[in-house]
C-alpha cells in the first residue's frame, strides 16, 4: 500500500528514479521557493508602497533585485512553468503518459537554451556590462 511508508532518508536518496524523479524533486523545490518568494514579495510591496514606506519592504525587495537571487528565482519560475506544462499535458491526455521520458527530454531541450540565454544576460548585467 502506498499509504504505509517505512523508507528512511538514506534509502530514499539511493532510490533510482532517474529523469522523472529529478523533475519531481525540482518541481517541488522550485514550487516551494516560488511560494515563499511571492508571499514575501507581496508583503514587501505592501510594506514599502501602501504602509508608510517601510524600510523592511525595501530591504526585502533589494534582495530580490540582486542578480544572484535572480539566477535562482528565474530557474525556479522557468523550470516550474515548463515542467508544469508537461504535467498538465500528460494528465489531461493520459494516453501520452507512455511517452513521459521522451517528454522530459523535450522539456530539457526547451528549458536549457532559454535558461542559458537568460543566465548570460543576467550575469553580464550583474557584472556591470
Partner 1 sequence: MKEHPRTAPQKGFNFDYLMWLFTRLSALGMYLIAIVGVTAALLMSARQNMSVADLMRWAFMPNPNHVVNTNIPNVDTWKGIFWNVMGILMLLFAGGHGLHGLLNVLEDYISRTWVRNLLRGLVLVVWVVMSAIGIYVILTS
Q: Select from 21, 22, 42, 68 the one that contacts partner 1 (CB under 8 A).
A: 42
Q: Determine, following the binding rule CB under 8 A, whether residue 21 of this chain makes contact with partner 1.
A: no
Q: Select from 26, 45, 96, 111 the one that contacts partner 1 (CB under 8 A).
A: 45
Q: Which three cell numbers stand for residue 7?
A: 523508507
Q: Determine, following the binding rule CB under 8 A, whether residue 112 of this chain makes contact with partner 1.
A: no
In the bound state with partner 1, the residue whose beta carbon lies nearer, of 112 and 126, is: 126
Task: Write the secondary structure of 25-89 as one string of H (helix), E (strand) and C (coil).
Answer: HHHHHHHHHHHHHHHHHHHHHHHHHHCCCCHHHHHHHHHHHCHHHHHHHHHHHHHHHHHHHHHHH
Q: Determine, following the binding rule CB under 8 A, whether residue 31 of this chain makes contact with partner 1.
A: yes
Burial of 103 (0-12, 13-18, 19+ CB in 10 A): buried
Residues that bind partner 1 (CB under 8 A): 3-6, 8, 28, 31-32, 34-35, 38-39, 42-43, 45-46, 49-50, 70, 74, 77, 81, 84-85, 87-88, 91-92, 118, 121-122
Amino acid at each position: 500500500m502506498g499509504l504505509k511508508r517505512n523508507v528512511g532518508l538514506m534509502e530514499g536518496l539511493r532510490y533510482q528514479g532517474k529523469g522523472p524523479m529529478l523533475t519531481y524533486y525540482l518541481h517541488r523545490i522550485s514550487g516551494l521557493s516560488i511560494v515563499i518568494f511571492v508571499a514575501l514579495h507581496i508583503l514587501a510591496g505592501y510594506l514599502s508602497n501602501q504602509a508608510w514606506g517601510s524600510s523592511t519592504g525595501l530591504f526585502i525587495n533589494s534582495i530580490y533585485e540582486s542578480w544572484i537571487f535572480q539566477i535562482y528565482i528565474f530557474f525556479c519560475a522557468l523550470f516550474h512553468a515548463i515542467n508544469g506544462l508537461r504535467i498538465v499535458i500528460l494528465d489531461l491526455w493520459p494516453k501520452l503518459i507512455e511517452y513521459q521520458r521522451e517528454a522530459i527530454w523535450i522539456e530539457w531541450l526547451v528549458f536549457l537554451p532559454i535558461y542559458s540565454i537568460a543566465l548570460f544576460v543576467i550575469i553580464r548585467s550583474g557584472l556591470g556590462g
